[in-house]
Structure 1
Amino acid sequence: MYTNIKQIDSHKCFDGEQLRFEHASSTLNCTMNFSVFLPAQAKNSSVPVLLWLSGLTCTDENFVTKAGAQQYAADYGVAIVTPDTSPRGEGVPDDDNGAYDFGLGAGFYVNATQKPWSEHYKMYDYIVSELPSVVGSELPIDFNRCAILGHSMGGHGALTIALKNPGMFRSVSAFSPICAPSQCAWGEKALGLYLGADKEAWAEYDAVELLGKGKPKEKLPVLVDQGDADNFLADQLKTQLLINAAANADYPMSVRMQAGYDHSYFFVASFIGEHIKFHAKHLL
């Protein structure tokens, strides 16, 4: 049935299918897994798609099993494609100390330029080019009607990838995004090791810096949800910097502070229905 991907799991879900695949990635030089929810509408025609990017320590399965997104995607007839968060496998380097914030599970959606990371860690190219090409050629999914969203490190990825690729997405949203990785410990470590010491290179993967470069060519609909009880808010996420940068760039964004919510998937599950509704308005 499939040419370039191998199905490794399948479950009926809200009259659609929750699928999991593996494929040989030429971009990342390893075997990669990704998950796909196909709504029932995909049996008759190609459907629009949400591209979900997960956060630190996650695989392609965390969102699939914890967020409860399939019910809402089924209602609107949209697919959800969920890639892994980093290259994996034999020969793929990891953090020397096994830390959670770098290496495996922490690709930060950048193209690494420094050895030994540069051989495998090209998650930006994988998300922007290879994965849509592979999935679009094998499944009834229309990447011309695509939105992007993510959580934490994945929220950073969603915002930066959308800002850097005008015309690729209809809308973008994020939960608890790392807004200014050049100015937080997670980002300083990851960008420094993947990209080297040149902070001009870091700025290409920093939403606040990208907005600060001037008026973006495209102003997508943007929704950001951030819990005010998130223990990473002040030191790592720095949502206010995104709010300020968007205002200075005259880039309208809906940034909502949600009272009492933390950084967990309980937060994501509480508002994922609203995010899918937001994207459906621009996809359907």
Structure 2
Amino acid sequence: NYLWVPADPQVDRNLIMVLRGRTGGDEAAIFAGDLFRMYSKYCESKGWRLEVSSANEGAAGGFKEIICSVTGEKVYGTLKYESGVHRVQRVPATETQGRVHTSAASVAVLPEAEPFDVEINEGEIKWDTFRSGGAGGQNVNKVESGVRLRYNWKNPNTGIVEEILIECTETRDQPKNKERALSRLRTFIYDKEHQKYIDDIASKRKTMVSTGDRSAKIRTYNYPQGRITDHRINYTIYNLAAFMDGDIQDCIDHLIVAENAERLKESEL
């Protein structure tokens, strides 16, 4: 009976997702690309909108880093469990000897901040514009549509002033890029300010990996055995191909059930 479980106030938020290749060089970037494809397919199946804000491609494919936003019903409440390190065991396309390697990519899922959640002194933002490179034909090099913002922000948890640098080259429309860069700045600050709150939850619940501890590995994708294991809830299935095609709902459902059970226990304490 989960009716008494207090709802997570952030469930209904849209989100920003950051995927990065970690240990494993080119293969890690390729795997980050595979995860991005998995989430894209999953979002498509749910009727959610996924938009890429920025992407830094890997030399052999995939992404060293890709940042995207997802909008739709209860997206944060559903995808928040994906935060953490995803480990892959397989023979890389880049490997000639046919040996299985272990590589990793990290996923950070951040609830998108509303303008009123975060105080930003917009007068103190320094803006630069630049020409976006990359595909896109003639327009690209003539128009300075890329924007870069710099903002000095004092971290309330540490008292330290940090310079935040955000680039956005997503659209060819400079005002739109500015708007998106601002939205990412808000989300970044919101995430940092809520760090303590998230860490407190994470210390109590094994389903949530603290965003402070992004080094914690949450899931292993073993290609030779076609196996997926989620280490937080000892969940193992052997349908890797379908999983990588976006069929991840069953795993998420198990995580939701586990988290509700943990929250129920918490509310009884």
TM-score (norm. length: structure 2) = 0.29
Question: Could you say which structure has the larger radius of gyration?
Answer: 2
Relative to its length, the structure with more strand (as a share) is 2
- Larger RCO (CA within 8 A; separation ≥ 6): 2
TM-score (norm. length: structure 1) = 0.28
